[in-house]
């Protein structure tokens, strides 16, 4: 049975897409079967996997509005990694869903027939709190929160954790917080170190802050241009090592809980 992890943070540029792509590759390297779901109309996950976005006939948009089944839209990305792609049409789903019954359950229901086929499902969320994110959090077992180490992002994480509590109360009581991941960390700046320290002291008692810290590296910007994850693009880089270590933390946690 797959563990479904929503990668969410309402702030753009916090490393959601990079984390989804790199963690999927790292889990696949460990022999796991992984499905990535692109739930962001900007579709940078799909684009970064080398897909021609305008040429996609069916996407997560069609799945959410009920005109396609999830298994029928999947494309292979690399060994053991599949992708449910998106493109800009997904932005219409948010409006169309508003008038539908059980609008927050669309993704959860769509995933049901696939849960036995994967070890992990990673959902790349858009940078907002709308119905797309609600669908992701409703379908997920847990939420992984990537966070750049700056003050306003830390404040935003507090807000997101509040939203997670609301989702737990109203739609998905079993939703857990997988953990908070420091990304784009710049060890040269005191600010980065202070914010990480604050995250650990203010949130660490209640939530897991991953030991793994992903540092700023230009490799992360280069790899999507050639349609690869950092794990194959720069196999031995610090960034690739970080996501391998994150995968290990997640798997160790899963086996101990």
Ligand X SMILES: Nc1ncnc2c1ncn2[C@@H]1O[C@H](COP(=O)(O)OP(=O)(O)O)[C@@H](O)[C@H]1O
Contacts with Mg ion, residue ranges (CB under 5 A): 16-17, 44
Which residue's structure tokens are 């847990």?
142
Question: Does the protein bind ligand X through residue 18 (CB under 6 A)?
Answer: yes
Tokens of 204: 């660490």
Give the nearest distance from C-beta 116 to ligand X in angstroms: 29
Q: Is 71 in the site for ligand X (CB under 6 A)?
A: no
The footprint of ligand X on residues 26-55 (CB under 6 A) is: 44
Minimum distance, C-beta of residue 26 to ligand X, in the bound complex (Å): 14
Instruction: Please check whether residue 163 is in contact with residue 171, taking contact to mean a CB–CB distance below 8 angstroms.
Output: no
Q: What is the CA radius of gyration of the chain?
A: 17
Judged by beta carbon, residue 18 or residue 142, the one nearer Mg ion is 18
Of the two residues 20 and 68, which places its CB atom closer to ligand X in the complex? 20
**Taking CB within 5 to 8 Å according to partner kind, which of ligand X, Mg ion, none is near residue 14?**
ligand X
**Distance separating alpha carbons of residues 68 and 194, to the nearest angstrom:** 47
* Closest distance of CB 63 from Mg ion, Å: 19
Q: Where does 141-225 have alpha helices with state H?
A: 151-170, 190-203, 219-222
Angstrom distance (rounded) from CA 238 to CA 255: 26
3 binds, among ligand X, Mg ion, none (CB under 5 to 8 A by kind): none
17 binds ligand X (CB under 6 A): yes
66: left (phi over 0), alpha (psi -120 to 50) or beta: left
C-beta neighbour count of 188 within 10 angstroms? 9
Query: Measured from the CB atom, is 91 or 96 closer to ligand X?
Result: 91
Smallest distance, ligand X to C-beta of residue 159, A:
15
Backbone angles phi, psi at 159, to 5 degrees: -65, -45
Q: Considering only residues 38, 80, 216, 228, which one is a binding residue for ligand X as defined by CB under 6 A?
A: 216
Shortest gap between Cβ of 86 and ligand X (angstroms)? 12
By DSSP bridging, strand 81-84 and strand 75-78 are: antiparallel
Residues near ligand X (CB under 6 A) are 12-18, 44, 127, 183-184, 214, 216-217, 220-221, 239
């Amino acid at each position: 049975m797959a563990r479904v992890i929503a990668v969410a943070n309402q702030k753009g540029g916090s490393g959601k897409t990079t984390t989804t792509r790199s963690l999927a590759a790292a889990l696949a390297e460990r022999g796991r079967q992984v499905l990535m779901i692109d739930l962001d109309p900007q579709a940078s996950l799909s684009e970064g996997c080398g897909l021609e976005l305008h040429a996609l006939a069916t996407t997560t948009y069609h799945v959410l509005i009920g005109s396609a089944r999830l298994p029928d839209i999947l494309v292979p990305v690399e060994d053991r990694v599949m992708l449910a792609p998106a493109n800009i049409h997904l932005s219409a789903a948010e409006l169309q869903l508003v008038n539908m019954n059980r609008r927050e359950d669309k993704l959860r229901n769509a995933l049901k027939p696939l849960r036995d086929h994967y070890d992990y499902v990673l959902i790349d969320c858009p940078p907002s709190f709308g119905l797309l994110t609600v669908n992701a959090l409703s379908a997920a077992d847990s939420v992984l929160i990537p966070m750049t180490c700056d003050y306003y992002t830390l404040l935003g994480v507090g807000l997101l954790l509040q939203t997670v509590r609301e989702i737990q109360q109203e739609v998905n009581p079993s939703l857990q917080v997988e953990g908070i991941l420091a990304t784009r960390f710049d060890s040269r700046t005191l600010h980065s170190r202070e914010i990480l320290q604050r995250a650990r002291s203010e949130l660490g008692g209640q939530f897991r802050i991953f030991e793994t810290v992903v540092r700023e590296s230009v490799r992360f910007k280069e790899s999507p241009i050639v349609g690869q994850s950092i794990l194959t693009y720069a196999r031995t880089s610090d960034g690739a090592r970080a996501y391998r270590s994150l995968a290990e933390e997640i798997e160790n946690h899963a086996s101990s809980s």
